[in-house]
Chains A and B, each alone.
Chain A
Amino acid sequence: MPKRIDPDTETVTFTFEGQIIRARPGDTVASALAASGIRHLRDSAVSGEPRGIFCMMGACFDCLVEVNGQPNRQACMTPVSQDLAVNRQNGGVEVKV
């Protein structure tokens, strides 16, 4: 189970799949979700298997999520900000024309 070691309080909120997530300034979407115990961030485009954070430094692209309607955003490279709408990414991304 994750826990925070600093006593600060969460002052930023955003949503993940409609659920309100409380975060701290300096968090990334990935770290805030990790602190909330959310591990499943996307489904693989190949097999549909669940995936979560892996490298946390922008190398592996396993934490791809949809942020404010934009797919393929790296959750670990996206700083939290108030009222972001983050969604799980299911499979591949379809190009909308």
Chain B
Amino acid sequence: MTSGKAGQGPVTAPDHASTGATMPGAERAMFGAAGAFLLTAGLRSGSPFQKLLIGGLGAGLTALAVRGRSPLATALKIQQDGDGHVLVSEAVTIGKSADGLYAVWRKLENLPSLMKHLERVEVLDERRSRWTVKAPAGYSGGEVSWEAELTADEPGRRIAWQSLPGAQVENSGEVLFRAAPGDRGTEVAVHLNYRPLGGSVGAVVARIAGQEPSQQLRDDLMRFKREQELGYHPTTEGQSSGRASRGGKA
């Protein structure tokens, strides 16, 4: 995982610069085969309507395979590199000092209270930890876990990690803390890079099921902000409404 130093380089996360939602080779081949099949079937069809519809669909899939971009992943703005890694970035400004926020984050075992999808983080030693998350929709086993090691730890500035070989979900990431202009506190930026279970199709399924990390990350950062600024989370859960009244019309 690369990272520009604060105040240098392009504004977008460097990993995103040359990537879109590129399909890995196997998926590309799959789209190509399906496209060729439909194109052939369409052209052989007797009905002009089917010829147009099926042939058109086949031509579309073939074109996608040639261009090498996953249509759904592109539509859903899933960023992927050529190796099939999904890239996720989010940032939030929090009205607290960088040192304080870094200290909260650095206690890795506390992260599950900030990040809802994290089941637990067990600190194994100074550098190594074991991460467990709820498995995405459709993935049997209920949990996914891996061991990670810190690759950078700069107090008040940056924490970076990388999964160890053999991880179920190969991933790396970093969190950056940077003073916001004026007296606005600290900009907290998180960059994640992971290989999704089930490839880009898996990433699309997870996104549609609402379990995709870019959504989770945004929610987690807002939760972190509210935890730090308010000390609690605003809610409407449990409030009265006509839905709870079960037809008690006045």
A binds B: no
B residues lining the A interface (CB < 8 Å): none
A residues lining the B interface (CB < 8 Å): none
